[in-house]
């Protein structure tokens, strides 16, 4: 961008005198801007034409003239950013961002929240990290999983505890439960306008089935057949009444088979760079259309510096709005996450049932979770795994002796650093030295040292259909075979396979609840704490309601147009 280069050179000259008038000449200005005298004369003419400076030259070689600054670089950057945004080039606008956190905060905040650009409503959200490519089969991050559901569609989708139609408008199951027929909506379109065909969806489903995750999640599936131009037939090895739920889960969302960035969901992915993610409304979407034209994540880690007093806080507590709106920002929606951070004790630890129960009771009865050095209101200690799934009410046994050494392996989120340190101190009081091993990822996939773990800590995300999510956790997470051992894992899979045969959803729920309560009674796993999800917004952004992922439904958010209403 030539404008950006021109502005950067202007800022160098401005900083040389802190914006005060200068008695100078062309040669000195050229040295300050690291360019030739010929080029600086061109720049001076351009700056004067734009109203940036007033240059009163003196005749004669080497004579000094008077340079007066008329505009500050920060003002010019803001104006140039607004021009780029009005022209529909947010990625160019972000190139204008300076690196200093205090400058970044001052410059970006006026563009946050709800904005009307060229009569198109746009919602901009500051975010603390770059976002991974949206690949449904490999999405450990909470934000990425939420975004994948905005961009891609599946044959079905989750709603509450149940699975409902999506790309398929209806499905039927054969009397023996081994053949499922998914009837596709007519006139489905991919984001680039191409008609969605049953053959394309079949091709993508076969790709999922061939993946390691697909082989475990869809282990009951035998074949996927295109029975008709608008019908897919899925044949099973064994009955699986979770199949519609499985096809609605994030790993089974369906990108275009030839382009993994193209989907058929309500939002089209336009940009996903280290500085910006931009979604635009999909005009051919088959269900209710979004009320916004665009959603943008502006990746600005510096905005999360608590010393700046910005509206950005912890990633589970989203704030949408400009710096000048901070006093008006109010929590418009909040909830306790169904997902939880957990502590698990594996078979490798060699603990007796009494020793394992003693550790679990120490964790919950010692108060260490309440004492974690975290921001107030961020977490709440768990007393149940899901509503009604209470943890055992054990008390520590003073006669229990723990092993001299144990190892704890844990992964993100970062709050588990504080939990690991507290647990290490707690077990030291019991004569047990706890060695800590941190895995800097969001799950246990591809972690080579998992088999050496005695204790494990991690985070279990739960979105829609929490009971189905916990069934899937048992099938997919590589932690469970390690925790259970060979015989225990075989028995656990047999229970899951028996559970999926029940046609009544409530029966499956009751059996799964009993399975998890037994795991908690056996001191295999316990929830530690839940997050307090919160989203705050200024008064001019409507329709913000938290969903189970700790985000909000992008398609229901809207910005009132700037009109006077009597």
Phi, psi (degrees; rounded to nearest 5) at 389: -100, 75
Cα 490 to its chain centre, rounded Å, is: 33
452-481 residue pLDDT tens: 999 999 999 888 899 999 999 999 999 999
Q: What is the 3-state secondary structure (H, E, C) of 372-385?
A: CCCCCCCEEECCEC
Which of the given ranges, 136-145, 185-194, 273-282, has the highest pLDDT on average? Answer: 185-194
Rounded CA gap, 419 and 438, in Å?
A: 12
User: Residues 559, 116: contact at Cβ < 8 Å?
Assistant: yes
| Orientation of helix 2-17 relative to helix 73-86, angle to 10° | 160
CA distances from 139 to 67, 76, 131, 441 (A): 55, 39, 10, 12
Q: How confident is the model at residue 317 (pLDDT cuts 50, 70, 90)?
A: low
Which of the given ranges, 1-10, 21-30, 542-551, has the highest pLDDT on average? Answer: 21-30
CA distances from 295 to 55, 278, 299 (A): 43, 6, 13
Letter string b/e over residues 357-394, b meaning 16 or more CB atoms within 10 A of that residue's CB: bbbbbbbbebebbeebeeeeebbeebeebbeebebeeb
Is residue 424 over pLDDT 90? yes
**Element containing residue 145 per DSSP (H, E):** helix 142-151
pLDDT of residue 75: 74
- What is the mean pLDDT of the segment spanning 386-406? 93
DSSP 52-111: SEEEE--SSTT--EEEEE-S-HHHHHHHHHHHHHHTT-HHHHGGG--SSHHHHHHHHGGG
Q: Which residue in 424, 405, 406 sits closest to 416, CA to CA?
A: 424
Q: How many CB atoms lie within 10 A of CB 244?
A: 23
- Which range (1-5, 101-105, 211-215) has the least confidence? 101-105
pLDDT of residue 181: 98
Q: Which residue in 145, 251, 241, 137 sits closest to 497, CA to CA?
A: 241
pTM (2 d.p.): 0.80
Q: How confident is the model at residue 100 (pLDDT cuts 50, 70, 90)?
A: very low
Q: Which residue in 398, 393, 420, 411 sits closest to 520, CA to CA?
A: 393
DSSP 364-421: HHS-TTTT----TTSEEE-SBSSTT-BPP-----TT----SEEEEEEES-THHHHHHH
Is residue 405 over pLDDT 60? yes
Is residue 313 over pLDDT 50? no
Which residues neighbour 406 within 8 Å (Cβ) at sequence distance 6 or greater? Answer: 349, 427, 432, 433, 434, 435, 454, 455
């Amino acid at each position: 961008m030539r404008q950006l280069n021109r502005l950067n050179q202007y800022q160098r000259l401005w900083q040389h005198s802190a914006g005060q008038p200068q008695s100078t000449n062309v040669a000195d200005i050229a040295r300050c801007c690291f360019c030739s005298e010929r080029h600086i004369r061109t720049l001076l003419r351009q700056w004067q034409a734009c109203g940036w400076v007033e240059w009163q030259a003196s005749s004669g070689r080497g004579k000094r003239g008077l340079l007066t600054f008329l505009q500050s670089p920060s003002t010019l950057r803001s104006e140039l950013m607004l021009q780029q945004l009005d022209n529909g080039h947010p990625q160019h606008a972000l190139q204008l961002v300076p690196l200093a956190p205090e400058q970044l905060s001052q410059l970006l905040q006026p563009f946050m929240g709800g904005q009307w650009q060229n009569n198109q409503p746009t919602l901009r959200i500051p975010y603390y990290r770059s976002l991974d490519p949206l690949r449904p089969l490999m999405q450990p991050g909470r934000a990425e999983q939420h975004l994948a559901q905005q961009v891609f569609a599946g044959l079905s989708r989750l709603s509450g505890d149940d699975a409902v139609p999506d790309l398929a408008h209806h499905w039927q199951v054969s009397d023996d439960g081994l053949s499922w027929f998914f009837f596709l909506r007519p006139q489905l379109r991919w984001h680039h306008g191409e008609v969605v065909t049953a053959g394309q969806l079949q091709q993508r489903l076969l790709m999922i089935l061939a993946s390691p995750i697909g082989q475990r999640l869809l282990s009951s599936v035998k074949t996927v057949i295109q029975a008709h131009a608008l019908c897919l037939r899925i044949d099973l090895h064994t009955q699986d009444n979770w199949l519609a739920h499985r096809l609605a889960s994030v790993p089974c969302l369906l990108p275009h088979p030839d382009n993994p960035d193209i989907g058929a969901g309500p939002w089209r992915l336009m940009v996903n760079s280290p500085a910006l993610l931009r979604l635009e409304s999909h005009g051919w979407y088959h269900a209710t259309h979004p009320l916004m034209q665009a959603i943008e994540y502006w990746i600005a880690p510096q905005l999360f510096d608590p010393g700046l007093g910005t509206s950005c806080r912890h990633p589970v507590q989203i704030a949408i709005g400009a710096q000048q709106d901070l006093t008006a920002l109010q929590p418009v929606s909040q909830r306790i996450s169904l997902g939880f951070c957990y502590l698990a004790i594996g078979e490798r630890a060699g603990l007796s049932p009494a020793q394992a129960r003693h550790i679990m009771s120490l964790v919950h009865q010692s108060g260490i979770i309440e004492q974690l050095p975290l921001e107030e209101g961020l977490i709440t200690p768990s007393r149940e795994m899901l509503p009604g799934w209470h943890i055992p009410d054990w008390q520590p046994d003073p006669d229990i002796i723990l092993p001299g050494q144990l190892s704890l392996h844990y992964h993100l989120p970062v709050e588990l650093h504080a939990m690991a340190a507290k647990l290490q101190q707690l077990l030291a009081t019991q004569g047990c030295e706890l060695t800590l091993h941190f895995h800097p990822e969001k799950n246990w996939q591809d972690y080579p040292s998992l088999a050496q773990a005695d204790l494990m800590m991690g985070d279990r995300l739960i979105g829609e259909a929490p009971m189905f999510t916990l069934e899937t956790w048992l099938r997919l997470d590589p932690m469970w075979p390690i925790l259970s051992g060979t015989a225990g894992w075989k028995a656990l899979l047999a229970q899951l396979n028996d559970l999926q045969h029940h046609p009544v959803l409530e029966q499956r729920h009751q059996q799964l609840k009993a399975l998890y309560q037994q795991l908690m009674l056996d001191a295999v796993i316990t929830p530690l704490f839940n997050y307090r999800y919160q989203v705050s917004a200024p008064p001019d952004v409507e329709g913000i309601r938290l969903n189970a992922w700790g985000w909000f439904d992008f398609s229901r958010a809207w910005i009132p147009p700037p009109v006077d209403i009597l």
